[in-house]
Amino acid sequence: MSNDMSNDTTTNAATETEPEVVVHRAGRLGHLILNRPKALNSLTHAMVQTVRDTLEQWRDDDSVATVLISGAGEKGLCAGGDVVSLYRAAVDGRPEVGDEFFADEYAMNAFIADYPKPYVAFMDGIVLGGGVGVSAHGSHRIVTERTRLGMPETGIGFFPDVGGAWLLSRAPSGFGHHMGLTSSHVTGADALALGFADHYVESSRLAELATALETTGAEEAIAAVAATGAAVPESPLMQQRDWIESAYAQDTAEDVVAALRSHGDPAAAAAATQILAKSPTSVKVTLELIRRAAQMSTVHEVLDQDATVAHHLLRGHDMREGIRAQLVDKDRNPQWNPPTLEDVPADAVSSAFDPVTSGSRN
């Protein structure tokens, strides 16, 4: 899900002449453009449905050889889901609105993961939460020098959903745990190193690539513009491998924080501070989520797990409080409950994974 923490997604409703998703055909290319630039292209329920429905049409259309997804404006692909609308529904006693949104969003993520045609994602600029969901499960994932990718959900009392734990759990050396617990953003070079992306292309060449995809196969078109060898920047995060690998190998969130604090690297101490600012419940649930995802064999299992955890957290205190503090009142001072990692009981974590029965859906 997620959302850029500095933007209120209640703004920028599309006008009649500006659809929230621009559906464009040119040559052999089907191009989806997320079109809420003032809200960093955050996903509404209608946008999720449009993307899924269009992909379904193009799957069976032999005149479409390749699909491309990109974001309108200069700031990014997508800052996540429109969480303010889910917050308002939850406050009104209608958390099932969130269940319906997530059911459709996760179905869309699964559809992208299984798509039988080349699915090219321009992961340029901001790519957060739900933005990862519409891109990082695709077959051809393009990052640039402007990419800022992250799963910042623990900061709003939620967890890395949209199948993100599938990727986080498979990142090397504890980097996925670091991203998930701290909500840190990473660069395009980091995204390549961590397995969230496949190719590095300078942002100035994306328009050229989009045009080439109209007539040329995805592999050939991307190869013509993608950086290779020494032209691909090194991953800054990989330079932090020493403390990340050791700290995030600890058993509990409390032990992770203690290891970060004691390591001696200022970056490790900063990571500890970041974790302690997040929802303690979300941090512990996220650590368990990623560990469980590591044992799963398909992204579909992870998405099913996401639906279960989302159902429970929608009905908890911290998600409403996190969205209120970050995006509604914007006081940036969430009052988490429980307030510390030590105060989170074990059953508060385990119950987030309890199967959802039909009688507990309201």
Residues classed as catalytic: 81, 130, 153, 161
CA distance to 40, 109, 146, 214, per residue, from 204 (Å): 20, 28, 10, 18
- Please give the angle made by the CA atoms of 224, 230 and 234, to the nearest 5 degrees: 110
What's the chain look like in SS3?
Answer: CCCCCCCCCCCCCCCCCCCCEEEEEECCEEEEEECCHHHCCCECHHHHHHHHHHHHHHHCCCCCCEEEEEECCCCEEECCECHHHHHHHHHCCCCHHHHHHHHHHHHHHHHHHCCCCCEEEEECEEEECHHHHCCCCCCEEEECCCCEEECCHHHHCCCCCCCHHHHHCCCHHHHHHHHHHHCCEEEHHHHHHHCCCCEECCHHHHHHHHHHCCCCCHHHHHHCCCCCHHHCCCCCHHHHHHHHHHHCCCCCHHHHHHHHHHHCCHHHHHHHHHHHHCCHHHHHHHHHHHHHHHCCCCHHHHHHHHHHHHHHHHCCHHHHHHHHHHHHCCCCCCCCCCCCHHHCCHHHHHHHHCCCCHHHCC
Q: In angstroms, rounded to a whole number, what is the distance separating the alpha carbons of residues 173 and 194?
A: 9
Q: Are 356 and 94 in contact (CB under 8 A)?
A: no
Place of tokens 């623990």: 154
The HSE-up count of residue 197 (CA atoms within 13 Å, CB side) is: 29
